[in-house]
Amino acid sequence: MKLRLILLCLLASPSFAADYYVTPNGNDGSPGSKAQPWKTISKANQVLQPGDTVYVAPGEYRERIEPVRSGQSGKYITYSSYDGRPWITAPPARVAVILRDKSYIRIVGFGIDGKGAFASSNLDSFVQMSGGGRNIIEDGVRTSDQTRTHICCPIA
């Protein structure tokens, strides 16, 4: 009986959301803490669980946001800028954000540069989404040939 009660408590315990950090001078072998951040958004794509947030520092990131899992109702997976705007400049396949069959993803404060300020940037598409839903992109900026488009809308 005691063992059943312990198992029931363990199974019923809530999961806690985690905060992680990415900086251009981080290390993907680190724990992703503020003191020991990861280097890539790709690492965050692999690790984040429903309810988690990754804070991405300013800098140039030549990769894309493409989470491997969805969040859940009330537990968004969040990619957020901190201390300034991070810039995605030359992602694989020239797409900055891919959300295929993903839901409850929130992206806040990123810049996407398509041949603007960063000379080596190369971008065809800001975001590609198919399937899934309840995704939010807000306070984003896309530049292309010195024009700026401000992105600020929930995308259902």
Give the tens place of pLDDT for each residue, 52-65: 999 999 998 989 99
Mean pLDDT of 100-128: 73
**Residue 12 included in any domain:** no
Look at the chain and report how many structural domains it folds into.
Answer: 1
Residue 43 in this model has a pLDDT that exceeds 70 = yes
- Mark out the alpha helices in the chain (DSSP H runs): 2-12, 41-47
In a domain, 63, yes or no: yes
Share of the chain above pLDDT 90, in %: 46
Helix and strand totals (H; E) in the chain: 2, 11
* Res 106 pLDDT > 50: yes
Average pLDDT over residues 83-91: 84
* Sequence-separated (6 or more) residues with CB below 8 Å from residue 53: 17, 18, 19, 20, 77, 78, 79, 80
pLDDT score recorded for residue 124 = 53
Q: What is the mean pLDDT of residues 90-106?
A: 85
Predicted local distance difference test score (pLDDT) of residue 68: 98
2 belongs to a structural domain: no
| Model confidence at 153: pLDDT above 50 | no
Residue owning tokens 């803490």: 33
* Residue 8 belongs to a domain: no
pLDDT of 114 = 58
Q: Which helix (H) or strand (E) holds 126?
A: strand 125-130
Is residue 151 pLDDT above 80, yes or no?
A: no
pLDDT at 150 over 70: no
Give the pLDDT confidence score for residue 140 in this predicted structure: 72
Phi, psi dihedral angles at 7 (to 5 degrees): -60, -40
Asked if residue 79 belongs to a domain, the reply is yes
The domain in which residue 119 lies consists of 17-155
Residue 136 banded pLDDT, cuts 50, 70, 90:
confident
In the predicted structure, residue 32 carries a pLDDT above the cut 70? yes
**What is the mean predicted confidence (pLDDT) over 14-28?**
92
